[in-house]
Amino acid sequence: MNRTLSRSAMALLVTSAFLNTGRADENDVRKAVTFYASFDESVNADIGGGQLTPDTRFNHATEKGQYVVGKGIGTKVFTIANSKGIVGGALDTVDVLPNNGRIFYPAKGNIAFKNDGWSGSMSMWCKTDPDKLLKTKFCDPIQITQKGANNGGLWFDFNDAKPRDLRHGAFTMVPEGQKGIGEDDPKAPMVRVPSIGWKADDWHHVVLTFKNLDTGKPDAVTSLYIDGKLIGEVKDRSIAMGWDIEKAGIYIAINYIGLIDELALFDRALTAEEVSLLHKKPDLLAKLKKKRD
């Protein structure tokens, strides 16, 4: 009897140890995807629940603070570099659009936003030299927002420092008539990586995870991972995007020059183990495209 109990207890311990290894499952990661752009053949996304073709937004020529949105991208600034991606092809951005132009995928249906609380993640691969290739003061490889980077915005960018820093921001919406916190404020909701030092020949993996946004509680957490490693977090505060999802966008390659590949959004905050898995297996999401084909 005691021997039977001992064997049962041993089996329970082994099972428990296996379950608590934090081992990431590839299928679980793929199931969490809400939007995926492989950039193998087209700028259009492969998977999503909303519009998969990007549009272009420009500053209005005469009305300050207003914009003009055109269907598609209609420019040779963005092309597909065949076989030059971390997997297959990649989005190749060769110049900066005029009039503060930027391309975006509508957020509706493509991101797991809920105005009463939500979580999610963003993953992408970048190949650029921020100090030698970029032409403008600021560059956002990704910016998800309705009104602006510092008014209900999730993003990472390269700033105007010399050498440039990489920064992640998670700025809450600013109520009408009020002034939001500035990026230079020590209390700004940001993670800063001084002198990032990327080179044009190297691919780098960036993941942003966000948890408990728009809950109204000071329990939001956003995290920045680079090349599979946790760099820093914005936490212990209330962060509300407050989007009108019909007007929010997933803006990519803003003033960016270089390659971008394997862009994906998820419906939950990925674990550290899942982020590491995505970094180790850049082709992990490619099976989604094959299933669709």
pLDDT digits (tens, 9 = 90+) for 105-153: 999 999 999 999 999 999 999 999 999 999 999 999 999 999 999 999 9
Mean pLDDT over residues 60-77, rounded? 87
Distance CA 53, CA 42 (A): 9
> Quick check: is 245 in a domain?
yes
pTM: 0.91
> Quick check: is 223 in a domain?
yes
Neighbours of 186 (CB within 10 A): 5
Residue 21 confidence (pLDDT)? 52
Please name the amino acid found at residue 5.
L
Residue 88 confidence (pLDDT)? 97
Tokens of 61: 């020529």
Average pLDDT, the chain: 92
Number of structural domains (the chain) is 1
CATH label of the domain that carries residue 40: 2.60.120.200
Side-chain-facing half-sphere of 217: CA atoms under 13 Å: 9
Tokens of 258: 């270089």
Contact 204, 198 (CB under 8 A): yes
Q: Find, among 33, 93, 76, the residue nearest to 263 by Cα.
A: 33
> Quick check: is 54 in a domain?
yes
Q: How far is CA 142 from the centre of its chain?
A: 6
Q: Please give the residue range of the domain that contains residue 197.
A: 24-292
Residue 35 confidence (pLDDT)? 98
Tokens of 215: 């809950």
> Quick check: is 8 in a domain?
no
Q: What is the DSSP string of 270-282?
A: PPHHHHHHHHH-T
Question: pLDDT for 15-65, tens place per residue?
Answer: 444 444 568 899 999 999 999 999 999 999 999 999 999 999 999 888 888
Q: How far is CA 40 from the centre of its chain?
A: 19
Neighbours of 220 (CB within 10 A): 24
Q: Find, among 262, 260, 264, the residue nearest to 92 by Cα.
A: 260
